Chain A
Amino acid sequence: MPHIPGIETWIAALLTLACMSFLYKDNPFFRFAESLFAGISLGYFIGITLNQTLVPNLILPLHRDFGQNWDLLVPGLLGVLLYMRYVPKIGWISRFALSIYVAYYIGLDFTRRIHGEVLPQLARAIVPLSKFDSHTILYSLIFSVGVFSVLIYFFFSKEQDAVTRRVARLGIWFLMISFGAAFGFTVMGRVALLIGRLNFLILDWIYPMIGLR
């Protein structure tokens, strides 16, 4: 029994087609969809940050128990100071808040990168070959040679000689293989998005209209 899908399905379907129409050539429908998306995204971001972060984490605690939560005024004030850049006369005040913000994230990221990325992955790259069977040794060898040759390729502090140039060349091969793998995954990812959109267009929009669902 055919039935007309709801208005939300129609809006989503027509906007999907408008976006896809860019593949044929640039046109006003695509530009409309693009602008609409940019505007709605920004509005949504402001709304969700206000409702889900600012209200429960700042405004409500201050309102409910100011004595216990007065310290929240400090980050709240720093947030307000960021917007002082729009007042030219006192714009310099925003730099204080920005510097604290940057310093916090440098500290946070520094630990995160060293402790969470560099050290564990370095530890994995230094594996005693004697401890493994032949299969693991082969993989560890390829891994070690790959890491070493790529590092040589990116070592720019000294001019390459005949030996290091060959090792760097090997590093390029390793990089090319990794780029190839990344490209393959990217194709899979993009096709997945197309599959998702076509599923929506066919199963949720067209099929109900012709009574197939």
Chain B
Amino acid sequence: MAGMLDKLLSLDRRWIFLLVLLCVGTPIVLPIGLPVTTTGSTRAAFDYIESLKPGDYVWVSFDYGPSSAPENDPMAEAFLRQCFAKKIRVIVCAFYPLGSLGLATNSLAKVTAEYPNLRYGEDYVNLGYKDGAAAVMRRLGEDIAEGFPADVNGTPLAQLPIMKGLRSIRQVQLVCSVATGVIGEYWITQVHSQIGTPIIIGPTAVAAPKYYAYLNAGQLVGMLGGMKGAAEYEKLLAARYPDMARFYQSTRGFTATKGMDGQTVIHAVIILFILLGNVAYISRRAAQKKGA
């Protein structure tokens, strides 16, 4: 037994990498369909958007890059689907320099293709990317056109029907920031705290713990923590909208719900490794004490 534990402590970590690869890859080839339970912060976000009326404005900010797309893409697409299903007008922008604009454009193209009646410039608009997120957000409270003079195609805001009568972000009913890093915090501290616009955050799992402080302080309407939060949101959407239930069941594309199989399996394996590692460490220390 002691010999086996010693072997475990000196195990080449590449074997662990291989095991992780198998544990994550197998559920992709052979899906398990493990259940997902919803949490209060995700339900609060979902219910808030549900409470909005057709014609209201939701600002969806793509504040992440391709490096966290598997976590953030499903959140952003879920927000867009819910807004479009409820005929809420959507304003999209991007603040993360490396790739967020491309992701925003792709997600909009993907989701709007599911709703052929939507018209660009009337039901939704893509304002593109801006550098210096905190400073731009400061301007949005005064005049959106000062931060974003034109949309992503270069069309001045004054020529877009969706922007008619919409001067400040104060008139927007909700901001959904799908974020990695600090930009989500800017939305809370720069826009919510100083202007009062309600905020929902969809952070990466790595960033999620710090957003709990804002959630706990009542500065967020709701929050989707990482891939798990996105999977919860997909479940809530599927339960509320039968069309989306069919979509999430039949789509061949990647969804957070599909990703949760691999998450669950690998978390079980990691817990097992932590336990084994600790047992081996404690046993070795006990043996060393005995020897001394």
CB distance from B67 to the nearest CB of A (A): 7
What are the residues of chain A within 8 A of B29 when measuring CB–CB? 202
Given contacts A120-B217, A192-B71, contact A53 B226 (CB under 8 A): no
Question: Are B259 and A112 within 8 A (Cβ)?
Answer: no
B8 at the interface (CB under 8 A from A): no
**Chain B binder among A1-9, A55-63, A154-162:** A55-63
User: Counting chain A CB atoms within 10 Å of each CB, which of B71, B98, B150, B205 scores highest?
Assistant: B205
What are the residues of chain B within 8 A of A186 when measuring CB–CB? 205-206
Alpha-carbon distance A123/B188, docked complex (angstroms): 16
Question: Are B131 and A23 within 8 A (Cβ)?
Answer: no
Given contacts A199-B28, A199-B254, A203-B28, contact A178 B209 (CB under 8 A): yes
Alpha-carbon distance A49/B228, docked complex (angstroms): 33
Given contacts A186-B205, A189-B204, A203-B28, contact A45 B218 (CB under 8 A): no
A26 at the interface (CB under 8 A from B): no
What are the residues of chain B within 8 A of A182 when measuring CB–CB? 209
What are the residues of chain B within 8 A of A105 when measuring CB–CB? 134-135
Question: Are B205 and A185 within 8 A (Cβ)?
Answer: yes
What are the residues of chain A within 8 A of B226 when measuring CB–CB? 185, 188-189, 192
Question: Are A193 and B68 within 8 A (Cβ)?
Answer: yes
Decide if the interface of chain A is mainly helix, strand, loop or mixed. Answer: helix
| Closest Cβ neighbor of A45 among chain B residues | B97
What are the residues of chain A within 8 A of B138 when measuring CB–CB? 108
What are the residues of chain A within 8 A of B209 when measuring CB–CB? 178, 181-182, 185
B42-96 contacts to A (CB < 8 Å): 67-71
| Closest Cβ neighbor of A69 among chain B residues | B149
Alpha-carbon distance A105/B69, docked complex (angstroms): 29
Flag A39-70 by CB within 8 Å of B: 1 or 0 each. 00100110011001100110011000000000
CB distance from A151 to the nearest CB of B (A): 14
B128 at the interface (CB under 8 A from A): yes
Alpha-carbon distance A52/B204, docked complex (angstroms): 25
Question: Are A195 and B227 within 8 A (Cβ)?
Answer: yes
Other-chain residue from A49, A123, A181 in contact with B131 (beta carbon distance below 8 A):
A49
B198 at the interface (CB under 8 A from A): no
Chain A: number of interface residues, binned into ranges: 35 or more
**Chain A binder among B171-179, B189-197, B234-242, B276-284:** B189-197
Flag B212-227 by CB within 8 Å of A: 1 or 0 each. 0110111100000111
Alpha-carbon distance A56/B216, docked complex (angstroms): 39
A113 at the interface (CB under 8 A from B): yes
What are the residues of chain B within 8 A of A111 when measuring CB–CB? 194
CB distance from B74 to the nearest CB of A (A): 10
Question: Are B134 and A112 within 8 A (Cβ)?
Answer: yes
Question: Are B263 and A188 within 8 A (Cβ)?
Answer: yes
What are the residues of chain B within 8 A of A191 when measuring CB–CB? 20, 24, 262-263, 266-267
Question: Are A115 and B193 within 8 A (Cβ)?
Answer: yes
Question: Are A192 and B205 within 8 A (Cβ)?
Answer: yes
Given contacts A108-B134, A195-B262, contact A48 B97 (CB under 8 A): yes
Question: Are A202 and B28 within 8 A (Cβ)?
Answer: yes
B99 at the interface (CB under 8 A from A): yes
A198 at the interface (CB under 8 A from B): yes
A194 at the interface (CB under 8 A from B): yes
Given contacts A60-B149, A124-B218, A203-B252, contact A193 B189 (CB under 8 A): no
Flag A108-124 by CB within 8 Å of B: 1 or 0 each. 11011101110011011
B6-39 contacts to A (CB < 8 Å): 14, 17, 20-21, 24-25, 28-29
CB distance from A104 to the nearest CB of B (A): 8
CB-defined A-B contacts under 8 Å, sample of 9: A48-B101, A113-B189, A116-B193, A192-B70, A192-B204, A194-B20, A196-B69, A198-B21, A203-B252
> Which A residues have a C-beta under 8 Å from some C-beta of B?
23-24, 41, 44-45, 48-49, 52-53, 56-57, 60-61, 104-105, 108-109, 111-113, 115-117, 120-121, 123-124, 143, 178, 181-182, 185-199, 202-203, 213
> Which B residues have a C-beta under 8 Å from some C-beta of A?
14, 17, 20-21, 24-25, 28-29, 67-71, 97-99, 101, 128-132, 134-135, 138, 148-150, 152, 154, 186, 188-190, 192-194, 204-206, 208-209, 213-214, 216-219, 225-228, 252, 254, 258-259, 262-263, 266-267, 270
